[in-house]
Amino acid sequence: MAKEHILVIEDEQDIQELLRYNLSSEGYTVTCVSSGEEGLQKARAISPDLILLDRMLPNMEGLDVCRELKKDTSTEDIPVIMLTAKGEEADIISGLEMGADDYIPKPFSPKVVIARVRAVLRREKTPEAPADVLRRGDLVINPGKHEVTINNDQVALTITEFKILHLLARKPGWVFNRDQIVDSVHGENYAVTDRSVDVQITGLRKKLGVSSALIETVRGVGYRFKEL
Ligand code: CA
């Protein structure tokens, strides 16, 4: 099997080297560039399997690079993980809105980076058909039957609650912001606003009972399904 190729767009030399060293040790082919402009060029030239993109770059910043990548049909499908300064929630949100697949706050440990890279590449390889039955621990979601069970006991959910749970559970560990959640249930004659997402989540957790901890709040960003 060909080694997966990772493009690192990062202007700080020591971080670049840290990533190069650790990703290479894991068997990935690594290409590093120091600016957004070079990053876009390389992305088009080598079609990497994944891009690690620093948020803070000279001249052209990470968010703009991400936007350009997602606008170009030759690069739009390449998953992007943003490297963001710690605690800058606004940055995380705008990164996700710009189409980034995940984010890693700085400073980070190489282990975390490797784990996230693996997770994102794995998701890319195994796209789940929406009608597939999902099993997450004791929880089973059957989209065909529109049925949720915990330890074989049926859980009565509203259509909106079901959709939100299904959305989150399809990608454990993946953070969805409120807008993305609203979008996913949009068009079903349900007036879902930002705030009412929180209300839906509260209702959903209540009905999930002992399994309510499966839905995690990511402060200032949104929600995710726990990685089991
Ligand atoms: Ca930087």
Q: How far is the CA of 117 from the centre of ligand 1 (A)?
A: 19
Same domain? For 87 and 14 the reply is yes
Q: How many domains does the chain have?
A: 2
Residues 106 and 142 in one domain: no
What separation in Å is there between the alpha carbon of 26 and the centre of ligand 1? 24
Q: Is the pTM of this model over 0.75?
A: no
CA of 12 to the centre of ligand 1 (A): 6
Same domain flag for 116 and 22:
yes
Tell me if 228 sits within 8 A of 168, measured CB to CB: no
**How far apart, in Å, are the Cα atoms of 129 and each of 108, 120, 182, 190?**
33, 17, 21, 24
- Say if residue 28's pLDDT is above 60: yes
Q: How far is the CA of 44 from the centre of ligand 1 (A)?
A: 22
pLDDT band at 167 (very low <50, low <70, confident <90, very high): very high
Check residue 131 and give its pLDDT.
67
pLDDT at 193 (0 to 100)? 66
- Buried b / exposed e over 9-28, threshold 16 CB at 10 Å, is bbbeeebbebbbebbeeeeb
List 141's β-bridge partners, or say none. Answer: 134, 148
- Counting residues of the chain whose pLDDT is more than 90, the rounded percentage is 59
CA of 176 to the centre of ligand 1 (A): 25
Distance, CA 96 to ligand 1 centroid (Å)? 18
Distance 42 CA to ligand 1 centre (A): 18
Last residue of a domain, one of 125, 147, 163: 125
Distance from the CA of 43 to the center of ligand 1, in angstroms?
A: 18
Q: Assess contact for 150 and 210: CB atoms under 8 A.
A: yes
113 and 12, same domain (yes or no): yes
Which segments within 3-106 are labelled E, that is strand?
Answer: 5-9, 29-33, 50-54, 80-85, 102-106
CATH number assigned to the domain comprising residue 94: 3.40.50.2300
Do 10 and 118 share a domain, yes or no?
yes
Range of the domain at 164: 134-225
For the cut 50, the answer to whether the pLDDT of residue 189 exceeds it is no
Q: Is the pLDDT of residue 119 over 90?
A: no
Whether residues 28 and 114 fall in one domain: yes
The predicted-structure confidence for 42-85, as pLDDT tens digits, reads as follows: 999 999 999 999 999 999 999 999 999 999 989 988 999 999 87
9 vs 62: CA distance, rounded Å: 9
